[in-house]
Chains A and B, each alone.
Chain A
Amino acid sequence: EPEVTQTPSHQVTQMGQEVILRCVPISNHLYFYWYRQILGQKVEFLVSFYNNEISEKSEIFDDQFSVERPDGSNFTLKIRSTKLEDSAMYFCASSERAPSPLHFGNGTRLTVT
């Protein structure tokens, strides 16, 4: 069964550094998402992406965050200047259409020191 893949599985970075989290969504899916889960808390929506542009973003997704689909397969989340509070598990997801179930990757655990 096709799946969403995320790399790396764990990223450690220093405060103020830029990080790029990478995702390969399921190939025939058209909608892409990033969510995050701070340890022990709920899964929070960050951004949705469709037709090569952001369709919706949350209050969390401020100017420090950006997303890109640089080619036909990858979907990236960039954090320009990481803060301690950015430490979380970041999940990429994709869906074939809307509404339909989201398929999640296994996540990237980001640790900001």
Chain B
Amino acid sequence: AQSVTQLDSQVPVFEEAPVELRCNYSSSVSVYLFWYVQYPNQGLQLLLKYLSGSTLVKGINGFEAEFNKSQTSFHLRKPSVHISDTAEYFCAVGRGNQGGKLIFGQGTELSVKP
């Protein structure tokens, strides 16, 4: 069965510092990868997606992620974070033979401090 592991449950960082949120997945078939952000008391908002093509994908709010098939990873990065980036971030994976169903990781709470 496929699974998604987000290695850090909490990531505290100072404003304007770079950040990387790690995500690893397990699947033996081709996958589609997503990062979602959840602000307090809100739904899940798509940050970026990898469906095919370039392994470096850029998303909203200055975030980017790199699909690494050999390491089965899809880490999320931002070179300089803002206070407003404080939120919960979820990595999700889907498989082509499973329709649109996504499996989510446990989430990483990003806390940006001034």
Contact = CB atoms under 8 A, between A and B. Distances in A.
B43 A99 contact: no
A78 B105 CA distance: 26
B46 A45 contact: no
B80 interface: no
B34 interface: yes
Nearest to A99: B32
B43 A104 contact: yes
Contacts, number: 65
Interface residues of B, number: 25
A101 interface: yes
Interface of A: 4, 31, 33, 35, 41-45, 48, 50, 55-56, 91, 93, 95, 97-107
Interface class of chain A by DSSP? strand
Contact of A50 (B45, B46, B92, B99): B99
Given A99-B51, A101-B49, A42 B99 contact: no
B105 A48 contact: no
A31 B100 contact: yes
B87 interface: no
